[in-house]
Amino acid sequence: MSPDSESQTNELQRCVYVFRDKNFAKGKGEQCSEPVYSDGKCILHIGLPDDQSRSEYKDLAARKAERVAEKAAKDDFNFEGAILPSIDFSEWSVPNLNFVDASIWEHALFEGATINGNVSFVGATIVGNVLFRDAIIKKKASFWEASIKGRASFVNVKIGGRASFVKATIEDNAYFEEACIGEYASFDGATINGEASFDKARIGGNVWFDNATIKEGVWLNGVKVKGHVSFEGAKIGGGAWFRQASIGGDASFERAELQKEIYAEGVSGAPQAQAAIYRKAKQVWSGLGDRDKADYYFYHEMVAKRELKKPTFSFRDAVHRSERKNPKDDIPSIKKYVRSYAEYFLEWPIQHVTGYWVYPARVIRAFAIFVLCFGFLFWFIAQDFTVTALDDSVWCSFLTLFNPIGKIENAQPGLFGAVTVIAGFIGPLTWPVFIAILAKKYGR
Ligand SMILES: [Zn+2]
């Protein structure tokens, strides 16, 4: 046998599987270097028989597991395109995990494992569950276009880099409770056929659910997101929970379909995110015909919007601005500041006295506070600091606020008269406001 024909034979005995290249183009990378087991494929790349109960399946699965153990012993965790029965690296410490395009016919378990580099399941299919609970992934986690037939658990996982589940499919529930993701997390175009929970998760960048489909509910209670949260074009079949969520950037729900109830009490962080979440909640609840909840979220949306009107004036910015070549730049911005502040302060009574026209009880409360304030004012002006005089002053204040006509006519010029006129102006204003709110709230 000539050396030439020998190398040809070796070439023929090499597994025909071709890996992805650096740009993740399929079949454009290197060829597998493992020897052929049968059908031109190595033991890792050869397919498993469909019937898992058959002895062929069990024999092949055992041989595959052996090869996996051999590779793992050498710190080689490249299982790209491998067809494997089940994988269990729970509590292991590994340099990285490459399961790109792999097919795992049972569960993939990595609970409590430490992965010192990247984890990639791009285009992988896992028939069972994927469990990463309590694992540490030092760099990024890529699961785009992965298909998980069971459930996915990333509870309390720590991911140093970004987490990508773009166009991934999870047939069961997805759990990310208390997960900590250093950079962004993307679920764009993902399909989760169960529920998705992110309760108390912390995300260092943005979170995207654009065009994602979540068949059941989505939980984001107590989540802390440094950047934006986006649900543009997302479809959520169950409820949505945002209680005590904190969003540092913006929130977007454009074209999002939230079909069930939404709970968003105590959202904190950037006012624009609060306003967007409360507005969505208001729309959802009015769609469901729950006027009280719609009013509640409308009120909070308006409070957040009022916060947005309070511009944060930075002295450094102002100085910087005056150094600009075109000083005209200054004029509209100062005007903007002044107008914004004016609107912010003028809106105070609308928020606190009328409750943005949805809380009639607030008007009664405001009226009671006015009665007490003017009562004390009259008491101080009269300078007769006895309990009887205080009683009289409060009663006088009540009458003035309730029906000022006679009181103003009889008021003497001076301080007492001036305060009477002011009270006489404010008091009667409260009743039309009260009636207007009642009419708006119950008259539609
Ligand atoms: Zn191979």
Sequence length of the chain is 444
Q: What's the gap in Å between 145 CA and the centre of ligand 1?
A: 22
Please state at what angle helix 415-442 crosses helix 360-382, rounded to 10 degrees: 170
Q: What's the gap in Å between 139 CA and the centre of ligand 1?
A: 27
Q: What's the gap in Å between 150 CA and the centre of ligand 1?
A: 26
Q: What's the gap in Å between 44 CA and the centre of ligand 1?
A: 6
**Distance, CA of 360 to CA of 433 (rounded, Å):** 8
Residue 316: the pLDDT is: 60
Q: What's the gap in Å between 277 CA and the centre of ligand 1?
A: 50
Q: What's the gap in Å between 26 CA and the centre of ligand 1?
A: 15
Q: What's the gap in Å between 35 CA and the centre of ligand 1?
A: 7
Q: What's the gap in Å between 64 CA and the centre of ligand 1?
A: 12
Segment holding 191, helix H or strand E: strand 191-192
Which regions in the chain score pLDDT beneath 70? 1-12, 311-333, 443-444
Q: What's the gap in Å between 76 CA and the centre of ligand 1?
A: 14
Q: What's the gap in Å between 166 CA and the centre of ligand 1?
A: 27
Q: What's the gap in Å between 88 CA and the centre of ligand 1?
A: 21
Q: What's the gap in Å between 72 CA and the centre of ligand 1?
A: 16
Q: What's the gap in Å between 8 CA and the centre of ligand 1?
A: 18
Please tell me the pTM assigned to this model: 0.82
How far the first Cα of the chain sits from its last, in Å, is 95
Residue 135: the pLDDT is: 96
pLDDT tens-digit readout, 219-257: 999 999 999 999 999 999 999 999 999 999 999 999 999
Q: 46's torsion region: left (phi>0), alpha (psi -120 to 50) or beta?
A: beta
Q: For 234-270, what is the HEC assignment? A: CEECCCEECCCCEECCCEECCCCEECCCEECCCCEEC
Q: What's the gap in Å between 81 CA and the centre of ligand 1?
A: 8
Q: What's the gap in Å between 74 CA and the centre of ligand 1?
A: 17
Residue 427: the pLDDT is: 84
Q: What's the gap in Å between 330 CA and the centre of ligand 1?
A: 67
Task: List the beta bridge partners of residue 98.
Answer: 78, 120
Residue 433: the pLDDT is: 84
**Distance, CA of 432 to CA of 357 (rounded, Å):** 12
Is residue 122 classed as helix, strand or coil in its secondary structure?
A: coil
Residue 426: the pLDDT is: 85
Q: What's the gap in Å between 16 CA and the centre of ligand 1?
A: 7
Half-sphere exposure of 338 (CA within 13 A, CB side): 6
Q: CA 406: distance to chain centroid?
A: 58
CB 262 within 8 A of CB 290: no
* Torsion sign over Cα 30, 35, 37, 40: positive
Residue 367 burial by CB count (10 A; 0-12/13-18/19+): exposed, middle or buried? buried
Supply φ then ψ for residue 217, to 5 degrees.
-85, 165
